[in-house]
Structure 1
Amino acid sequence: MLSERMAELRDMAADIFTVEPEEVERATSFVDDLGADSLLAVELLSRIEQRYDVMIDANDLAKMTDLPSTYKVVADAAGW
Structure 2
Amino acid sequence: MATVLSRISQSSIVQSGKQAASDTAFITKKLIRSTGKAAWIAGTSFLVLFLPLIVEMDREQQLNDLDSQQATLLGTPSAPALN
Higher-Rg member (1/2): 2
Does TM, scored on the shorter chain, surpass 0.5?
no
Name the TM-score, length of structure 2 as normaliser: 0.23
Larger helix share, 1 or 2: 2
Q: Which has the higher contact order (CA 8 A, sep 6+)?
A: 1
